[in-house]
Structure 1
Amino acid sequence: MTFYQALQMDPSGLKKGIREAQDKKEKRYFIKVLVVRDILLVMFAIVFISFSSEVFGSQNSAMAVVIFCMMLSIRFVDFGYKISHSLVSLGICFLILLISPIAMQLVAPPLGLIINFISLFAVVLLTCEKPEMGNGGLYLFGYIFLSGSMVTPEVFVQRIYLTIFGYLVCAVILFLKHRHKNPQTTLLHVISRYDIHSQKGQWQLQIALALSLLFFAGSYLGLNRFMWVGFACSSLLSSYPVNLHERMRDRAVGAIVGSLLFGLIYSLTPPSLSFLFGPVSGLCLGFCSNYRYKTIFNCFGALLMASSIYGVHDAVLLRIFNNLVGLLFGCVFFYIFQKILVKRWLGNKELKHC
């Protein structure tokens, strides 16, 4: 295995290599790869997001973050069908991410519910032919993240250009990495094979309906940073198969510990050094393979921005509260969906979950 090939491994694979190393030299090799990979990812994130924000406006940094995450994922995960159709689906997803998170904020909540459901269901149908590969969590994250802010017409024009740029970059990566995969499977096959009685079909409907209803409820609740509620709910239901109990425990513990830890460290850190929270938490994330620890370090970047608006104390409490609300909603929805729609109406067995 070359050094470049080792850099393509994820943290869990590299940590396994460290644990199973035959000697100290091999162990040091995998440690070196893990550290270099982490540093390169953080540097690339800073450069790409800074460049995109500079060219297309700082108010479009959220779209830049989403595109960056998609670029990293598309290198390894395809859509499960022929490349020409995958490129079309990628374009549709970018169009949805551009329009729907903003459109649903401009209309009455009932119409927003319809927009969200159609958009979210289309995204999971187009990208999750193999839901166990994690595309659902990625694209739903992008949708929720982009719903967290509103833009002016001038900024939206710049976002259009950024979206086109992002699509072209991701399309090139998708083509180069996956052009020879699944040549006989078409998008029409994927759509026509949708079956609400199947585990995958129920999962796709469940996550789209859950988030749509969550956004609908959010339009009346008036909670600040409501996207945090969405992230928590999505993280609970987007795993495939749904790993409800473990996921809920890890998310709750991670959100509480991460938020409190941020509050403690922030209070002890000189204001002149607070800018380091983002890069350092990004580096720590790169070493994590456990979802609970990822959740802990994700709190730092989110709370650094929120604390400038609400203050550290209120931001920490808001982060914890919103995560618990999202988890509670997701858990209740899961059981209602399984008991009423799946078991009673469809006569199917409930989705397995841990």
Structure 2
Amino acid sequence: MTFYQELQLNQAGSKALIKASKSKKEKYRHIAVYLFKILLTVAFCTAFVMAFGAVFGEDNNIVGVVMLLCVLSFRYADLGIKNKDAMWAFAVIFAILAAGPRLANACGLVAECMIHIVCIMAIMILSCHNVLMFNHATLVLGYLLLYGYDVTGEAYLYRLVAIAAGAALTMAVYYRNHRKRTFKRTFKDLFKEVDFQSSRTQWQLRLALAIATALLLAGILHLPRRMWAGIAVMSVTLPFPEEIKGRVGGRIPGNIIGGLVFILIYCFVPKSLHSYIGIFGGIGVGLSATYGWQAVFNSLGAMAIAVSFLGLPGAVFYRVFHNAFGALYGMFFEKIYSRCIKA
């Protein structure tokens, strides 16, 4: 395996390669490549997001995060349709990302819930035909992040331009990387194959309903950072119900441990280093091969942002609460939904 090929491996692949090393020299080489890959990825991600913030304003740093996720994901993932038609699908998806979160924030709770259902269901139909690609983990997550970090006025105009720029970049990367692949399915086929008797469409609808109703409940209770609950629901609402308990069992303890780690860092590490907590979390995610540990390190960056307006107790409490609520609600919703379908 070449150096470049080794850089393309995910965490589990790199760790498997390290474990299979036949000598200490080979093992140390693989470890060095693995660490270099993580540092390179974190540096690139940080520079990418900072560049978006510098051009489109700090309020739109989150757009940089979303577009970065899209670029990195769709280098490999596909939409399962012809490349020309995929460009139309992306155009609609990014239009939803531009308008849906802003419209939802501008409405009352009931109207907001309806908007979430329509937008998330549309994203699912357009991007998740092949459920194994897990494209919802990028695009629905992006929708929820843009919803949670909403802006208005001039900042929103910059956000529209930022999303357009990110869309063009994502589409260019997608077309370049998938141009030699052959697909028979077209844009219209995505809608023709929507079948509410199929497990795929049922999962897509279940995900949209579960996220929207979880956000509605959190809104009724006037809870801050509601998007965290929505992201937790999305994370555990898998197309394969038998895997849900494992996700719940990793996400809840992971965020509790992440909260404790964050408290220790925030209290005992000099304040001058607090701005690097998110980067530390990113490195930790890169080193984590299991979902539970990824949840631990993912929570650090989220709390580092929220602590500025929720305070330390509030940031930790709501991060843990929303993730526990969202994970349990997602599991509960799947059971109730399945019973209703079978009835």
Q: Which residue of 2 aligns with 1:295?
A: 295
Partner SS for 2:300: helix
User: For residues 242 and 110 of structure 1, do their structure 2 counterparts lie closer, same or farther at Cα, with a shift above 3 Å needed?
Assistant: farther
Measured against aligned partners, the alpha-carbon deviations of 1:10-46 in whole angstroms (never above 9, x if no partner) come to 1111111011122223222221221111011111111
CA distance in 2, matches of 1:306, 1:78: 34
Instruction: Give the deviation of 1:241 after TM superposition.
Output: 5.3
Q: Which residue of 2 aligns with 1:304?
A: 304
Partner SS for 1:243: helix
CA distance in 2, matches of 1:196, 1:321: 33
CA distance in 1, matches of 2:94, 2:231: 19
Q: Which amino acid is 1:97 matched to?
A: L
Q: Which residue of 2 aligns with 1:137?
A: 137
Instruction: Give the deviation of 1:124 after TM superposition.
Output: 0.7
Q: Does 1:343 align with 2:315?
A: no
Q: How does 1:106-185 map to 2 (within 5 A)?
A: 106-185=106-185
CA distance in 1, matches of 2:66, 2:240: 21
Instruction: Give the deviation of 1:338 after TM superposition.
Output: 0.4
Q: How does 1:1-354 map to 2 (within 5 A)?
A: 1-238=1-238, 240=240, 243-340=243-340, 342-344=341-343
CA distance in 1, matches of 2:23, 2:333: 50
CA distance in 2, matches of 1:120, 1:225: 19
CA distance in 1, matches of 2:113, 2:242: 24
Choose 315-324 or 119-128, whichever is displaced more. Answer: 315-324
> Unpaired segments of 5 or more residues in structure 1?
345-354
CA distance in 1, matches of 2:215, 2:99: 16
Partner SS for 1:180: coil
CA distance in 2, matches of 1:66, 1:149: 11
Measured against aligned partners, the alpha-carbon deviations of 1:77-133 in whole angstroms (never above 9, x if no partner) come to 011111011111111111111110110111222222221111101101111111122
* 8 A contact 2:120–2:208 mirrored in 1: yes
CA distance in 1, matches of 2:225, 2:160: 24
CA distance in 2, matches of 1:287, 1:62: 23
Instruction: Give the deviation of 1:4 after TM superposition.
Output: 1.3
Instruction: Give the deviation of 1:242 after TM superposition.
Output: 5.5
CA distance in 2, matches of 1:228, 1:111: 20
Q: Which amino acid is 1:310 matched to?
A: L
CA distance in 1, matches of 2:310, 2:170: 35
Instruction: Give the deviation of 1:239 after TM superposition.
Output: 5.5
* 8 A contact 1:136–1:238 mirrored in 2: no
Instruction: Give the deviation of 1:65 after TM superposition.
Output: 0.5
CA distance in 2, matches of 1:308, 1:193: 46
* 8 A contact 1:132–1:240 mirrored in 2: no
CA distance in 2, matches of 1:110, 1:316: 28
> Unpaired segments of 5 or more residues in structure 2?
none
User: For residues 114 and 313 of structure 1, do their structure 2 counterparts lie closer, same or farther at Cα, with a shift above 3 Å needed?
Assistant: closer
User: Cα RMSD (Å) of the superposition?
Assistant: 1.4
CA distance in 2, matches of 1:174, 1:276: 32
CA distance in 2, matches of 1:126, 1:233: 20
Identity in percent = 31
CA distance in 1, matches of 2:67, 2:247: 26
**TM-score (normalised: structure 2):** 0.96
* 8 A contact 1:113–1:212 mirrored in 2: yes
Measured against aligned partners, the alpha-carbon deviations of 1:248-280 in whole angstroms (never above 9, x if no partner) come to 110011011111111122211111121221212
Where has structure 1 moved over 3 Å in runs of 4 or more? 238-242
CA distance in 2, matches of 1:135, 1:240: 15
Partner SS for 1:147: helix
How many correspondences in the alignment?
Answer: 343
CA distance in 2, matches of 1:239, 1:247: 12
CA distance in 2, matches of 1:184, 1:150: 38
CA distance in 2, matches of 1:78, 1:242: 25
User: For residues 335 and 244 of structure 1, do their structure 2 counterparts lie closer, same or farther at Cα, with a shift above 3 Å needed?
Assistant: same
